[in-house]
Amino acid sequence: MVILMDRLDTPSGQRAVARCTELGRAPYSDMEGGLFRPYLGPSYRATCERLAQWMEQAGMATRMDAAGNLVGRYEGLVPDAPAVLLGSHIDSVRDGGFYDGMLGVILGIETVAHFAHAGKRFPFALEVIGFGDEEGSRFPTGMLTSHAVAGVPQDPDPAMADWAGEATLASALAEFGLDAGHMHRAARRRDGILAYVEAHIEQGPALEAADRALGVVSAIAAQQRYRITLRGMAGHAGTVAMALRRDALAGAADIILAAERIGRAGTDGLVATVGSLDVVPGAANVVPGEVVLSLDVRAGSNAGRDQAVADILQAARHTCAQRGLEMDITLQQDLDATPCDGRLTELMEQAVGSVTGAPAPVLVSGAGHDAMIMAHLAPVSMLFIRCAGGISHNPAESVTPADTDAAFRALITFIGLLERHSG
């Protein structure tokens, strides 16, 4: 389907899809033939400039905060009124889809544009935020910039290198005229934010299976992410006897299977994933001497996640003892289960029901979102949008203009309900 941008001169879900599509190629991607938009990279700069143009056309004043987040503000009936914050993240994984994160930012802009076009203002301001780093797509940490906005201590190391080894956090921020030592200045005051609202593709198949366009998120699953380093002894593949080997990769295989076994046996939405594996020296004729693997564990509760982590790491220690391996474990991300605000959830359910003519499905998100961090600052609400096959973090990621337009209208309705129920 071809969407002609010059015909999309009014806010809509169709225009949101078209804009996401526009941002899926150069100069808005650092990758040939696919989408990769790392935090503070060249494509990030180009994307922020384009988003700022759309924000300004929608009647917003724009700025980049001290953490590199893009913020647009549409004033309320009185200056400096507290804000309802709409948004999601700008960055993408390598070879990702067009809609993960970005659709929430664009829908925020479209929502504000709708009210600006109608000349409507509220007792509160409306702000749209595009978070710079949710995915951990460039530096070895995720949700870096929402931590800064929420004022949640994280103390990132300015000297930490990006995945390519080409820049540090400090040098990347400096390219944007920002100072790594001042990231905390992005923190917002609690009395300045009434709510944070994030629209996002579901990243799962539940809505599609139920033949529903939209769902409302009641909570976001607990998550922990680890970097595990196994050290054995490298040796010649033809001369080191099997019984004498300290093969780090074989040990990693045992741990991966243990994580899968424990994840499958769990309840409470438990999932366990090893998604990356670095093998040293990585030669066909050498017994691997070192392996670095990731471990990502999520569940609907902190207790369920923590028990699974304990079981997997115990299995890993047993494997290392049997195989004569050394193991280092580094916790890289620790996110508590996050309930969405009950009052806002009810209003979002009403909005979805009004737009779709049916009760809103209520879901728990297994994926992490900036809303998890923003919940430390303000009440949060999340709206899910059906995606084809539940596919995300993949070029095949897809939404329909009709579903996205339903989300657009639900956000408009939600803001109206929030006005009637505020104060």
What are the two backbone dihedrals, phi and then psi, of residue 67, each rounded to the nearest 5 degrees?
-100, 0
* Residues in binding site for allantoate: 225, 285, 298
* Residues in binding site for Zn(2+): 89, 100, 135, 200, 393
Predicted local distance difference test score (pLDDT) of residue 410: 98
Q: Which residues pair with 272 in a beta bridge?
A: 297
- Residue 361: C-alpha distances to residues 219, 298, 346 (Å): 13, 22, 12
The span from the CA of 231 to the CA of 192, in Å, is 50
Nearest alpha-carbon partner for 258 in 320, 303, 304: 320
The span from the CA of 404 to the CA of 225, in Å, is 32
Predicted local distance difference test score (pLDDT) of residue 423: 62
Three-state helix/strand/coil letters over 84-111: EEEEEECCCCCCECCCCCHHHHHHHHHH
Q: Write out the two tokens for 109.
A: 């802009």
- pLDDT, mean of each 10-residue run, the chain (423 residues): 54 96 96 95 98 98 98 96 98 95 98 97 98 92 93 89 92 97 96 98 94 95 95 97 97 98 91 96 97 95 95 98 98 90 97 97 91 96 96 93 98 97 77
Instruction: Find the length of the chain.
Output: 423
Q: Which residues pair with 127 in a beta bridge?
A: 73, 85
The span from the CA of 86 to the CA of 130, in Å, is 9
Report all structural domains of the chain as residue ranges with CATH numbers, in order of start.
5-221+337-421 (3.40.630.10), 222-335 (3.30.70.360)
Which pairing describes strands 362-365 and 214-220: parallel, antiparallel, or unpaired?
parallel
- Residue 177: C-alpha distances to residues 15, 112, 167, 315, 325 (Å): 32, 28, 15, 47, 45
Q: Write out the two tokens for 130.
A: 């595009």
The span from the CA of 99 to the CA of 287, in Å, is 42
What are the two backbone dihedrals, phi and then psi, of residue 110, each rounded to the nearest 5 degrees?
-60, -40
Nearest alpha-carbon partner for 126 in 73, 162, 59, 170: 73
In this structure, are residues 294 and 141 in contact, taking their beta carbons and an 8 Å threshold? Answer: no
In this structure, are residues 51 and 63 in contact, taking their beta carbons and an 8 Å threshold? Answer: no
Q: Which residues pair with 32 in a beta bridge?
A: none
The span from the CA of 180 to the CA of 174, in Å, is 8
Three-state helix/strand/coil letters over the chain: CCCCHHHCCCCCHHHHHHHHHHCCCCCCCCCCCCECCCCCCHHHHHHHHHHHHHHHHCCCEEEECCCCCEEEEECCCCCCCCEEEEEEECCCCCCECCCCCHHHHHHHHHHHHHHHHHCCCCCCEEEEEEECCCCCCCCCCCCHHHHHHHCCCCCCCCCCECCCCCCEHHHHHHCCCCCHHHHHHHCCCHHHEEEEEEEEECCCCHHHHCCCCEEEEEEECEEEEEEEEEECCCEECCCCCHHHCCCHHHHHHHHHHHHHHHHHHCCCCCEEECCCEEEECCCCCEECCEEEEEEEEEECCHHHHHHHHHHHHHHHHHHHHHHCCEEEEEEEEEECCEECCHHHHHHHHHHHHHHHCCCCCEEEECCCCHHHHHCCCCCEEEEEECCHHHCCCCCCCCCCHHHHHHHHHHHHHHHHHHHHHCC
The span from the CA of 261 to the CA of 255, in Å, is 10
The span from the CA of 379 to the CA of 339, in Å, is 10
* Residues in binding site: 89, 100, 135, 200, 225, 285, 298, 393
Predicted local distance difference test score (pLDDT) of residue 2: 41
Predicted local distance difference test score (pLDDT) of residue 8: 64
